[in-house]
Amino acid sequence: MILVLLVSTFLFSQPYKGSTIKVLVWDDALTVAVESMIKQFENETGIKVVFERIPSGSILEKLALSVSGSKADYDLVSVDEPFVPQVGNLFMPYSAWPEGKIYSKIDLERDLIPGVAEGSFWNGEYRGLPINGNVYVWLTRKDIVNNEQYKKEFMQKYGYELDIPQTFDQLLDISEYLSTKGIYGFAPFTKNAEGATCEAIFMFESYGTNVLVQVGEHDFEVVLDKEKAVEALKMYKELCKFAPPGWEDMGHSERIAAFNQGKVFSMFQWPAIVPDHENKDQSVVAGKIYYGAPPAGPAKRAAIRGTWMLGIPNASKNKEAAAEFAYWWSSYEAGKELVKVGMTPARTDLLLDPKYVEQKPYFVGIFNSMRYSVSRPRIEKYAEVSDVIKVNWLAGVTGRVTPEVAIDNIIKGVNEVLEKYGY
């Protein structure tokens, strides 16, 4: 028996035979895709992978529960970008990750889409390996902008050609025009969830302002420019006038449903959900969507980035095997297969591979969008800052308070959080 094992070890040269790693990841199409291929990785390396998928909202709690400076129940943990500051120090800097025995170590700057790696940067180090090209992609209905009848009418009324909206002003014009055709120009994200903070930051950045800036090593300052922020909020409110009924409470499921039923012209989406829009069984607009960077505000284009990184806890006892798994996940060879089952890669060579550009029209969109990617406030106490932004932004958008009051409350609230923690 032992002999057989020994022989087989030599035969298949599984360098990690006998090690088991526990991996904690968020739950969506991408990780389902990865899980479906783990067997192959296990056979190649001899590493047994315990792969736990949980809702992205619970990851941080679970992480706090199971990983500390001195103990780690997981060898590899996925962390969403805005929480990297809070937990970054628990993870081994990427520069210290071991080289892989089967899959080679990823070069963050050469191999990945420009912009992706920033999400995992904290305190002078990359804290892990970015794993997905997660950034706002802007969805626009090609069939609508190419409708000859619409084009003619729009030209007459607005004096320029109906096309993919390049600015918010254009988007507003088109939305106004389409409202006469029974199409909603825009679908916001207004559920009381992280998505609402993303929308706020997205608008602020497009209008040339941001919430927080780090000054010095351990201090932050609120830099939100009231005038610009109010303008941004007002524009969002204007756009919401052309949103579907029930827009005051739209989350992922409502937005997916509205867009897939062909009711909505244009909106942002996270790459992981895009396949739902291209699924012919669920969506009447499959094949009719153009993917690109979001429209620009007066200051610039901005796209919220939300890349996930894989981090190895300092206290993990299987660092080598964990790194090998992360390299496999990010490798071109595995990526090829993973893309087929629904993964959105962070590797440039995969994202721009001509083979997929046709099949997955949104890959180019992700690449373009990433060029404009911006991050949400980077601070240890992000959860609280995000709640302040979200709550007040939504109060402003839904008209419970005036835009001015909403922005004032954000500034005041974030300052209070900073004060509370002695920044």
Q: How many whole angstroms separate alpha carbon 187 and alpha carbon 245? A: 10
If the CB atoms of residues 71 and 157 are measured against another protein, the closer one turns out to be 71
Residue 52 as a binder of another protein (CB under 8 A): the answer is yes
Helix runs in 207-347, H state only: 226-240, 252-260, 274-277, 319-330, 332-340
Cβ–Cβ < 8 Å for 379, 385 = yes
- Of 253-272, binders to another protein (CB under 8 A) are 253-254, 256-257
Nearest 5°: the CA angle 398, 402, 407 is 95
How many helices (H) and strands (E) would you count in the chain? 19, 15
**Judged by CB under 8 A, which stretch of 62-70, 157-165, 298-306, 343-351 contacts another protein?**
62-70
Amino acid letter at 297? G
Residue 304 as a binder of another protein (CB under 8 A): the answer is no
Backbone φ and ψ for 75, nearest 5 degrees, come out as -100, -20
Residue 411 as a binder of another protein (CB under 8 A): the answer is no
3-class DSSP state for residue 33? Answer: helix
Residue 32 as a binder of another protein (CB under 8 A): the answer is no
**Eight-state DSSP code of residue 381:** T
Among 65, 155, 213, 223, binds another protein (CB under 8 A): 65
3-class DSSP state for residue 347? Answer: strand
Helix runs in 13-103, H state only: 29-45, 59-66, 84-87
Among 7, 64, 213, 284, binds another protein (CB under 8 A): 64
In angstroms, give the least distance from the CB of 212 to another protein: 17
Residue 252 as a binder of another protein (CB under 8 A): the answer is yes
**Judged by CB under 8 A, which stretch of 139-147, 159-167, 185-193, 328-336 contacts another protein?**
185-193
In angstroms, give the least distance from the CB of 419 to another protein: 10
Among 28, 75, 81, 408, binds another protein (CB under 8 A): 28
Among 380, 403, 407, 418, binds another protein (CB under 8 A): 380
Cβ contacts of residue 242 below 8 Å, gap of 6+?
172, 175, 176, 178, 179, 184, 185, 186
**Kind and range of the H or E element at 220?**
strand 220-222
- Of 314-373, binders to another protein (CB under 8 A) are none
In angstroms, give the least distance from the CB of 249 to another protein: 3
- Matching residue, tokens 């001509």: 354
If the CB atoms of residues 54 and 364 are measured against another protein, the closer one turns out to be 54
Residue 237 as a binder of another protein (CB under 8 A): the answer is no
Residue 405 as a binder of another protein (CB under 8 A): the answer is no
If the CB atoms of residues 169 and 254 are measured against another protein, the closer one turns out to be 254
Look at strands 220-222 and 373-374 and give their pairing.
Answer: unpaired
> Which stretches of the chain bind another protein, using CB under 8 A?
26-28, 52, 54-56, 58, 61-66, 68-69, 86-87, 89-90, 190-192, 245-246, 248-249, 252-254, 256-257, 273, 276, 380-381, 383-384, 391, 394-395, 398, 400, 420
